[in-house]
Amino acid sequence: MTSKFIKKSAIQILIIIGSIALISLFSEIRQTANSNSLAQIPRFGNPPPNLLKPPKPQILPSGAPTPSPKPPEQPLVFAPPAQFRSQIVYKASISDSKVIALTFDDGPTAETLQILKILQKHKAVATFFCLGANLRENPEIAKRVVQAGNAIGNHTWHHFYHNVTEKTAADEIDNTGVHIYRSTGAKSLLFRPPGGRLNNGFADYAKKKNYVVVMWSIDPKDFSQPPAAVIARSVLSQATSGAIVLLHDGGGDRQQTVEAVSAIIPKLKQQGYRFVTVPQLLQMQASQKQQTADQKPK
């Protein structure tokens, strides 16, 4: 009994020792395997080896043009032909077509928007001489003026009538020009002196800067707010080809002018007139003069 028990106990001890040995062996094998696997993983931040290879150069087809950078867009410029720079104009000399230029001073204002609707309805355009102070207050209206195909001009900042120094004239005109560009993206060499005064310093500075000084040949005196019918009758009775009409979209209540414009445009169109901007009007005169010169016998 005792001998059998001793033999059985010895066998169990041997089995336990063998199991411990096997477990120890397997543990060493796993540790070695894990150590080898970790050695193959790049450290944090290092890309895999295949990403370190330089990219293959892109081969363009033979004859394929090299892409060129898109040229910067040039700003829109409202300018007369060169012969009108630094000059004063009252109207254009045009005999081969019936054209007329409506101009509006002292905006942009709420009335400007009403006038734009009338122009658009009749597929007509005009020229707007803006005050810098109003451009600062209503830049979006000025932008719509240009977007609708109209021209824009400089009417100084404050609309002073009195004599000014060259520095004041420069400040008034240059700052207005800056706001024309900021609000519309356009530049303009069209200038109209406040009140049409040519001897108080503004016109001299404008001519020095190559502006064309745009006056007018028809003045219905809408600034004094006569009835719309009076304004319309005055314009219609004086209309001639090449005329420049003075009207106002600012400087007071301009509802009479708005109503007059809605009557003037369709009636003049019935007479065969087309409405153009001041730069277009002057370009037509220049082209007609050149055409006449070309037709003369040599």
Residues with a known catalytic role? 105, 248
Helices 255-270 + 110-121 axis angle, to 10: 20
Residue 14, Cα to own-chain centre: how many angstroms? 96
DSSP code at position 201: S
The size of the chain, in residues, is 298
User: 97: number of CA atoms within 13 Å, CB side?
Assistant: 14
Task: Please state, in angstroms and rounded to a whole number, the distance separating the CA atoms of residues 252 and 255.
Answer: 9
Beta strand pairing status for 99-107 and 127-130? parallel
Print burial letters for 188-213: b (CB count within 10 Å at least 16), e (below 16). bbbbbbbeeeeebbbbebbbebebbb
Helix axes 139-147, 110-121, angle to 10 degrees: 10
* Residue 54, amino acid: P
84 beta partners: none
Check if the beta carbon of residue 222 is closer than 8 Å to that of residue 247: yes
Picking from 140, 151, 148, the residue whose alpha carbon sits closest to that of residue 116 is 148
